[in-house]
Amino acid sequence: MNKRIIFHVGPPKTGSSAIQQFLHQHRQQLLASGVLYPAHSVDENGISSGNAREICAPDPEGRLVLDHQKLTHVLNTFEKNPRAKILLLSSESFFRILDDIIRAVPDAEIICFLRNPVEFQLSIYNQSVKRHGNQKPFTPGKRLNLGQWESVLKAAKQLEAHQLHCFAYKNHGEKGNVIADVAGVLGLQDAFSVNENSVNVSYSFAALELKRWLNQFPISALQGELDAYLQAASAGSGRYRLLDDETLSAYKEQLADVTTKFQQLLPEQDWQVVTEALKKVAALPWYQQGVYESDIAGLVCQLRRDKPMLFRTLSVIVDSAKLPADDASLKHLFELSHGARWLAALPLFCKRMVGEIRQKLNASASRPQLQPAASLNNAVKITNADIIPQLSGSTPARVRGGVRAQEMPDFAHQFRHQQITAEQTAPVCVTDTKVLAEQSQITRNKKGHYYYGGPAFSNFGHFIAESIHRLAALPGAKQQANISKVLILPQLRRRLRKLAKPLLPPNFYEILDYLGVDKSRVVLVDKPQRVENLWVAPQQSLFRTRSEISADYRQFLLQCERRAGIVPDKQLPAKIYVSRTPFLLRGSFAGERYVEQCLACHGYTIFRPENHSLHAQLRYYKSATEIVLAEGAALHVMELLGDIPARITVLQRRTNADYLFGPLLAARCKNVDFFGALKVLPSLFVVKGYKSAAHGSALSVLHAETLKDYLSHRLAIRDFDCDEFLATTHQDIASYFHAYAKSLRANNDVQQLPDQFIQKVKEIEPTHLGCMPANWQLD
């Protein structure tokens, strides 16, 4: 056909928002000139996803892929339109499926832009703070990320010279602009007066630092208004850089080394724009993050004046949060008088109270309707049962407390599986029955019917994994008897000779309420007692089991979901990365900061569960279509759900995590996979008073090349930079070591741990680490 088909493919951070806003505003004029540009939505900031949905559809994992049926329909419509000589489609999503587009439409022309990789790196970081909740200061990569350039070079080899229109990205205000370049390809450079407006404005330094600090608070409801204001406040502000001179010099050498390889993609004048961008960055003032409070204070004063309601709402949120001292540095900027704070908090308080009342009414209305499955209606009554609290030294592996009676089923004791092995053996009883038998006889008998909730462990993960699974039979027991209280045995901390304080895990009562146990019904057993009638049921899930949970127990959890209002919410992000970066010193994998940054660049929202309520965490997991997790407590939280619609990818930090969590997730999720090419370094975290390290707080090292291949095949992430990942890994290993080494060497009981850590690093250097920096272990 004597028509042209053109795809503008971005890539990201090369002015696509400005191009799409211009094209969308001029659709009628374009069509009058013979260019068909399909309509699409544009948000209040002028940002859109372009025409992606015109020819793409989500695959089962939620990623946009080329839909050949949609493409055929668009091409046929274009062919039949006598006014249209050019079909123009624009979306950054096309860059990821560029190979598919070229195969499907061999005669298509491609418009794309190359941006200096230094500018790209800074822009991506700015975006991660603006839209993805990043709280971390900028950390430059060891090497430039040339993944976009490589993709364009690959496409160039598949196309004729006249099919590829590649230009240099021009910053707003520089000579020439990206819209004029697109208009030139269309042959319309003289038909339009192109006055490029800046769209998706980068934050000024003060706005960047303010938003980075505010990202630690629950401000998602204010995100849109706050972002719009900070963009407006940033307009016209001077540019700056976050790179020091030494790093820039290294980047300059790297860019010079690849000139011959890539300069063929651009006309000489445009290549000069790309290379000279580095000089312009070097000429900008360098700002060190975290030390310019006066600039931020000025912006906060401006916010207070321009947006008083937004300021007061932020003040209430900031004031109500509990912050470590290091994170509270700007809190004084949001101080209000008592009267002003009361007026600002009142609408939030009323809204929260109305929500809580509705939630309780819904819960109250639905709880009586909870009907237990036949297999869960299995609680049995024990008469004259002694309840022994968890005594000193009790652990999940040796429970020194429980139920004692003349006649009782074995399942009244606590069971778990031994260490994970290829051939799983039968579960073992971990209740110390000898200790129970040695306790004094109890003569006083409490009348009535009670339900045994079991031992509650203070560790959050072990509490969910081992302490809650008897509660599924509570609804059935209530149908047989008037259950007055649920007895739970917390771990105890002795304060004086006879007084003890229960050590409850985080979200203890919230989890029990989710499972149908109101706080008013809970009795924390801290001293031996006898009850007339005790109802006891088996554990519905055992720690380290290799078997999936039963269908009936899964249905019970689904009922808990519905009762708590845990339903998919389209307003929540579809793709999330559940991060452990704040816990580098307490169990993580080295280099996670780079993985987090990489995923943020591919549209993943960085989710830190510790900043959200349990209810909110479950809603995020229920609403997502793609979840990537750094192995941690979030996997235990998912055990509370009966169904997880998302595709789940787990980046392990322990060797057997796939055995531990695989069966639990498989019962709830249709597509789950684990990455486990790793080595675990010796833990250096020692609890005060102990003579050995806590293994759960060890640092792990992932195999870089294997991880790169895995992310490419599993998540279609093809620009993972192994050098940057390894550089971040080296930094994290050194940080972890130096956080503990000095104090450990001063402790005779554990002074050998730092040397064991160093030796292990040396053992895995060639395969997993490359070469660590010289003398990394020295202060």
Question: If we measure between CA atoms, which residue out of 751, 678, 753, 752 comes closest to residue 710?
Answer: 678
CA distance 442 to 385: 10
Q: Provide the greatest CA pair distance for the chain.
A: 99
Cβ(605)–Cβ(577) below 8 Å:
yes
DSSP string over 569-597: -TTS-SEEEE--GGGGGGSEETTHHHHHH
Give me the pLDDT at residue 139, please: 87
**H/E element holding 662?**
helix 657-666
Report the distance separating Cα 11 and Cα 3, nearest Å.
25
pLDDT at site 324: 57
Rounded to whole angstroms, the Cα distance separating 511 from 464 reads 9
Residue 207, amino acid: A
Task: Report the helix count and the strand count for the chain, using DSSP H and E.
Answer: 29, 24
Where helices occur in 369-457 by DSSP H, the ranges are 433-438
User: d(Cα 48, Cα 38) in Å, to the nearest integer?
Assistant: 13
State how far the alpha carbon of 198 is from the alpha carbons of 18, 122, 234, 415, 481, in Å.
7, 17, 11, 63, 69
* Alpha-carbon gap, residue 403 to 510, rounded angstroms: 25
Identify the pLDDT of residue 217.
Answer: 86
**Do the bridges between strand 588-589 and strand 647-651 make them parallel or antiparallel, or are there none, so unpaired?**
unpaired
What is the Cα–Cα distance from 432 to 403, expressed in whole angstroms?
A: 11
Q: Please tell me the distance from the alpha carbon of residue 683 to that of residue 673, in angstroms, as a whole number.
A: 26
Beta carbons within 8 Å of 477's beta carbon, 6+ residues apart: 379, 451, 483, 535, 537
- Strands 415-416 and 428-429, by their bridges, are antiparallel
Q: What number of CA atoms fall less than 13 Å from residue 114's CA on the CB side? A: 29
Instruction: Outline where 411-532 has alpha helix (H).
Output: 433-438, 460-466, 474-480, 508-514
Closest CA to 142 of 253, 50, 41: 253
pTM of the full structure: 0.58
The owner of tokens 């992430």 is 717
Total number of residues shown for the chain: 779
**Distance separating alpha carbons of residues 205 and 291, to the nearest angstrom:** 11
Does the bond joining 490 to the residue before it have cis omega, within 30 degrees of 0?
no
Cβ(609)–Cβ(579) under 8 Å?
A: no
What share of residues in the chain are helix, strand, coil (percent, to 5)? 45, 15, 40
Q: What is the mean pLDDT of each run of 10 residues along the chain (779 residues)?
A: 88 88 88 89 62 82 82 92 94 93 95 92 87 85 87 94 93 75 89 60 88 87 84 83 90 90 90 88 88 81 88 84 62 72 56 53 46 77 96 93 94 91 83 95 93 96 96 93 95 69 92 95 95 96 90 92 91 94 93 94 92 92 96 95 96 92 91 95 90 91 95 94 93 94 93 95 92 88
* Amino acid present at 692: S
Euclidean distance between CA atoms 404 and 459, whole angstroms: 25
Q: What one-letter code names the amino acid at 398?
A: R
Which two tokens mark 53? 């949905």
What does each C-alpha distance from 740 to 327, 376, 684, 686, 757 come to in angstroms?
22, 48, 6, 9, 11
Neighbours of 747 (CB within 10 A): 11
- For residue 773, give the DSSP letter: P
How far CA 691 is from CA of 153, 466, 584, 686, 750, in Å, comes to: 57, 26, 22, 7, 6
- Tell me how crowded residue 339 is: count the other CB atoms within 10 A of its CB: 8
d(CA 401, CA 342): 48
Q: What is the DSSP string of 504-569?
A: PPTTHHHHHHHTT--GGGEEE--S-EEEEEEEE---SS-TT-SSPPPHHHHHHHHHHHHHHT----
| Tokens standing for residue 240 | 């700056």
